[in-house]
Amino acid sequence: MLRRFENQVAVVTGGAQGLGLAIARRLAGEGAQLALLDHNGAGLEETAAALAGAGAAQGGSVGEPLTLVADVTDEGAVDAAMARVVERFGRIDVLVTAAGIVGVTDAKAHQVRTPDFDRVLDVNLRGMFFCIRAVLPTMLKANYGRIVNIASISGKDGNEGMMPYTASKAAVIGMTMVIGREYAHTGITCNAIAPALIATAMTLQGLHPEHYKQLTARIPMARTGTPEEVAAVAAFAASRECSFTTGFTFDASGGRAVY
């Protein structure tokens, strides 16, 4: 196994389950000291203990992850959480923003209620912005940082019945472009990943079975992706090796997007 993140501190939002958990596991396996942020306190503690146990079984020296119970839509809570990471470890080398929700599905645009639209944008976009803004000063002082945002292929070509989610992920891609350009000269890179349908609890529980089937049918590989496949892409984007790519969106779409 590669050890690309030894002596590095990685913050993963949405780290209690799904893509966040898979990415956290991959980064820890490559030597990162983790700080996991999620609103699900019980799930977060369980995940942290499991990751620490797995690391000990593999003979790793990295300690148990720092757990940060916070809602990414709470600006003050996010700032306080990131301050705790810096107080504990003195640095933040990597930020992976994996916290997100699907929101309402199977609803055409004229059927979307304003509170439902606002909630998706709040979590998927504003919450991501709060997290990125909170870590940038620390990364700027170090002249180094890797920011990896979880977007979606729907942010590129749209998913019918998921207008709020699609709009939020398109905005994530746009935000990634701007941050990538603004900090390109500083040693900080900011890239995104646009997965197609991935088999996680969020998609399995959030999508109607027929909608899930339709989205799978769009994938030329004729299957959904796995969290581990996305984690492999994220690990590269979060590593020092990803040194000449910024503001870019990596696809993990099984061929759904080839541009």
* Local structure of residue 111 (DSSP, 8 states): G
Q: Is residue 258 part of a domain?
A: no
Q: Is residue 1 part of a domain?
A: no
User: Which amino acid appears at position 192 of this protein?
Assistant: A
Q: How confident is the model at residue 1 (pLDDT cuts 50, 70, 90)?
A: low
Q: Is residue 66 part of a domain?
A: yes
Q: Is residue 259 part of a domain?
A: no
If one compares 183 and 200, the residue with the highest pLDDT of the two is: 183
Question: pLDDT by residue (tens digit) across 12-62?
Answer: 999 999 999 999 999 999 999 999 999 999 999 999 998 987 655 555 556
Question: pLDDT by residue (tens digit) across 79-130?
Answer: 999 999 999 999 999 999 999 999 988 899 999 999 999 999 999 999 999 9
Considering only CA atoms, give the Rg of the chain: 17
Confidence (pTM): 0.93
Which residue do the tokens 């003979």 mark?
59
Q: Is residue 141 part of a domain?
A: yes
183 is catalytic: no
User: Which amino acid appears at position 143 of this protein?
Assistant: N
Residue 146 has pLDDT above 70, yes or no: yes
Total domains in the fold of the chain? 1
Q: Is residue 13 part of a domain?
A: yes
Q: Is residue 153 part of a domain?
A: yes
* Range of the structural domain that residue 74 is part of: 9-252
* Local structure of residue 233 (DSSP, 8 states): H
Q: Catalytic residue, from 165, 183, 212, 259: name it.
A: 165
Q: Is residue 147 part of a domain?
A: yes
CATH number at residue 246: 3.40.50.720
- Neighbour tally for 10: CB within 10 Å: 29
